[in-house]
Amino acid sequence: MRARALRLASPVLTLHVAMGLSFLGIAVVLVLVTGLVGGRSWVLAWPASSLLVVGLGYVGLGAVVTGKRPNGTFTWHAALLLMPYLAAAELAWYAVRVLGQEEPWQEVSHGLFLGRRVQHWELPARIGLVLDMTAEFVEPEEVRSGRRYLCVPTLDGAAPNVERLARAMLEVLPFAGNVYVHCAAGYGRSATAMAVLLVARGLARDHAIEVMRSTRPRVRLRTTQRRTAQRVLARMAELSRVPPNEHGDSAVHST
């Protein structure tokens, strides 16, 4: 595994902090409107609270704020609090699904499929393992059932947690069947994980990102995602040198 294999000719500056500040700003505006207008405007406190929590996740707390569990579902209290944000994310995904011009997934290497969040009838054939990189969606039960399911919750536009992704990759790496890696649209978070997998399996020695873009042209890793992929490869190398009984409990689980 070589971290240097993750190269991008024109890296894109990360926007996740800007996204977090935007969410926080909108939350403040909604609170001000509620305070100034009064009356029925109090209902704006719900989306304001939702955006406040998500904004804090973007600027530092991470995907833990969404409460997504290893089985691909949400705790009830997290789902209730974040329902305005989750509903908006669901609508945005539906728009991508209906209006998107690109196929939902592509096979970037033999048995390795990269794509967006799908319904079970959209899955590639004979998928034995699904790696879900989203933090804002419940994974459809039919997608999780009958196959291994791993979840590394990651906020849209952000980089995944290094430790969680490294441990997930160590579970995916020896898997012999077809693997589907996805996020919401299949261009950023999922591509970060797929880049790690391609390099770790020796399938993309120098151009992991270009390999993905040859079949899925809109793939583009942000600078923080690309650097995180390098750190994940380094962490995988460290974990591989540790006896299995010293790894501790995995940060992700299958169902």
Q: Residue 47 sits in a domain of what CATH number?
A: 3.90.190.10
Is there a contact between 232 and 162 (Cβ–Cβ < 8 Å)? yes
Residue 15 resides in a domain: yes
Residue 67 resides in a domain: yes
Residue 18 resides in a domain: yes
What domain count does the chain have?
A: 1
User: Which domain covers residue 55, as residue numbers?
Assistant: 3-246
d(CA 18, CA 63) in angstroms, rounded, equals: 16
Residue 253 resides in a domain: no
Residue 252 resides in a domain: no
Residue 102 resides in a domain: yes
151 is catalytic: no
**pLDDT tens-digit profile of 148-191?**
999 999 999 899 999 999 999 999 999 999 999 999 999 999 99
- For 108, residues 6+ apart whose C-beta sits below 8 A from its C-beta are 114, 194, 198, 211, 212, 214, 215, 216
**pLDDT tens-digit profile of 188-221?**
999 999 999 999 999 987 789 999 999 999 999 9
pTM above 0.75, yes or no: yes
> Whose CA is closest to 127, among 108, 109, 146?
146
> Whose CA is closest to 86, among 21, 130, 135?
135
Q: Which two tokens stand for residue 102?
A: 């690109």
CA quadruple 36, 37, 39, 40: dihedral sign: negative
Residue 43 resides in a domain: yes
d(CA 79, CA 87) in angstroms, rounded, equals: 10
Residue 209 resides in a domain: yes
Annotated catalytic residue within 129, 133, 135, 183: 183
